[in-house]
Amino acid sequence: MRLELKGITKRFGALVANDHIDLVVEPGEIHCLLGENGAGKSTLMNVLYGLYTADEGEILLDGAVQRFTGPGDAMAAGIGMVHQHFMLVPVFTVAENVMLGHEHTRSGGRLDLEAARTQVREISARFGFHVDPDAVVEDLPVGVQQRVEIIKALARDADVLVFDEPTAVLTPQETDELMAIMRQLRDEGAAIVFITHKLREVREVADRITVIRHGKVVGEASPAASDTELASLMVGRAVELTVAKDEPVLRDNALEVEHLQVTGPDGQVLVDDVSFTVRGGEVLVVAGVQGNGQTELTEALVGLQENVTGSIRLDGRELVGRSVRQVLDAGVGFVPEDRNTDGLVGEFTIAENLMLDRADGAPFVRGGSLQLATRDAFAREKVAEFDVRTQGIDTKVGRLSGGNQQKVVLARELSRELRLFVAAQPTRGVDVGSIEFIHKRVVETRDAGVPVVVVSTELDEAVALADRIMVMYRGRVVGIVPSTTPRDVLGLMMAGIAPENTEGDAA
């Protein structure tokens, strides 16, 4: 089926998320929609899927104009979507999720689960998915959950398939497998829209590339184009894709973690016997697929986890068992994984957020009263230093873009006298320009002699930033390897397979 979008415009108040976008996807091709976070890709796809109604423009399938009032209409017309955040009910089984919304029933209104199971098995067999129809979705690894999403779309005979940032949660191996599935679907005649901001994937799988910036189509590119060309098209200027840094100069001060174990509320071991050392002046990147214990590891380092055993020593001082306040006072800077819930108070101004961790005394508080002049002077200085693009220090942080929010977090955490810097996913949901800036600051911190721990799920970032890479899988350390380790080896490590010639700690 041929999909055509004509002059799609979608406004949210004053913001034009999609500005007269035209797009044609032919059957049997993979059409990449490339753009930065916030460029309007997802908005466009939500319009296509009937979740939003376009203010202007029309959607055509095989030349016929469509009117979608909801996702049900889009699905009935043959559009299937693999959502970035899976649209699966976690407590339902695979078969229940696949049948939901178009259930067959038997006498007495009883659900015909057997029909759904058969359908799951048939589609699984066709693509070699190995999905058990009776497995409960929340127990499945994300890679398999994604296949359930694909099965869901195929079970409804979708001819147009939209993949919205599908690789964000996958290991490199799973990503390769997904690419193979997409090619197979294409060869069977499906029209595929592949939304991403990862250049490598685009070049690998795309038949055509459309680049979107600030809600507008800024051009088409050939899959043969280089990373630099694609990146500059996407960002609108030349970008530096590598991180410039010198050889590390190791100091004596160090973070030493030994036999660290973090237990969750139900007794799951989330961080399992983790030991590593980071010396002053080096960056250790903790790599791995999301949800393999990295979050809990960083939270344990700052004292946010409850059931922690083992030892975390910073310059010889034990941190396990201390309160967050004491840990921060020991000189730990922390950029949390989710800046909106843990890093910032969205309804507070930039100035207030910048002094959040220092409300317990001079110079910002004297005699129980906030020192507004001191606070504002500090905020103005930091806004300039960290290049936060804002109308003023009284702007609410929630109004800033992701990149600028992250700069505020960074400014707050790096403005103290640090003895350890921990950054979890510092560049997630951040524009390319801000990524460059954040990477530069991380390297500067390292060069100042501070041990730096960065958690990243993006292999490119891990390789670019790290002096050493520690890969975690299901709470355990698979291995600690130099940043020059080949990508395929790192990919295998992210799936839990340790390379034979690597020690547990190859420091």
| Burial class of 136 by CB neighbour count within 10 A (0 to 12, 13 to 18, 19+) | middle
Q: How far is the CB of 80 from other proteins (least distance, A)?
A: 10
Q: How far is the CB of 325 from other proteins (least distance, A)?
A: 27
Q: Is 382 left (phi over 0), alpha (psi -120 to 50) or beta?
A: alpha
Give the integer Cα–Cα distance in Å for 92 and 96.
6
In single-letter form, the type of residue at position 383 comes to: V
Q: What is the residue-wise DSSP string for 170-192? A: --HHHHHHHHHHHHHHHHTT-EE
Dihedral (CA of 438, 476, 177, 469) sign: positive
**Which residue of 91, 249, 345, 359 would you call a contact of other proteins, by CB under 8 A?**
91
154 CB-side CA count, 13 A = 25
**Which residue of 23, 33, 34, 75 would you call a contact of other proteins, by CB under 8 A?**
75
Q: How far is the CB of 142 from other proteins (least distance, A)?
A: 8
Q: How far is the CB of 102 from other proteins (least distance, A)?
A: 8
Give the integer Cα–Cα distance in Å for 178 and 189.
17
DSSP 8-state code for residue 243: P
* Binding track, positions 236-275, relative to other proteins; x by CB under 8 A: ---------------------------xx-xxxxx-x---
DSSP 8-state code for residue 448: T
CA 102 from centre of chain: 32
Q: Verify binding: residue 128, other proteins, rule CB under 8 A.
A: yes
H or E segment to which residue 35 belongs = strand 30-35
- Could you say which residues in the range 469-488 bind other proteins, by CB under 8 A? 474-475
Give the integer Cα–Cα distance in Å for 358 and 455.
25
Among the listed ranges 19-27, 32-40, 44-52, 157-165, the one in contact with other proteins (CB under 8 A) is: 44-52
* Binding track, positions 48-67, relative to other proteins; x by CB under 8 A: -x-xx---------------
Q: Verify binding: residue 87, other proteins, rule CB under 8 A.
A: yes
Q: How far is the CB of 234 from other proteins (least distance, A)?
A: 24
**Which residue of 39, 47, 120, 492 would you call a contact of other proteins, by CB under 8 A?**
492
Q: How far is the CB of 99 from other proteins (least distance, A)?
A: 8
Is residue 393 within 8 A of residue 382, CB to CB? The reply is no
The smaller minimum CB distance to other proteins, of residues 168 and 448, is found at: 168
Q: Verify binding: residue 500, other proteins, rule CB under 8 A.
A: no
# of chain residues touching other proteins (CB under 8 A): 66
Q: Residues interacting with other proteins, by CB under 8 A? A: 46, 49, 51-52, 70-73, 75-76, 81, 83, 86-92, 96-97, 99-103, 105, 109-111, 126-128, 130-132, 135, 139-141, 143-144, 152, 173, 176-177, 180-181, 184, 187, 263-264, 266-270, 272, 291, 293, 474-475, 492, 495-497
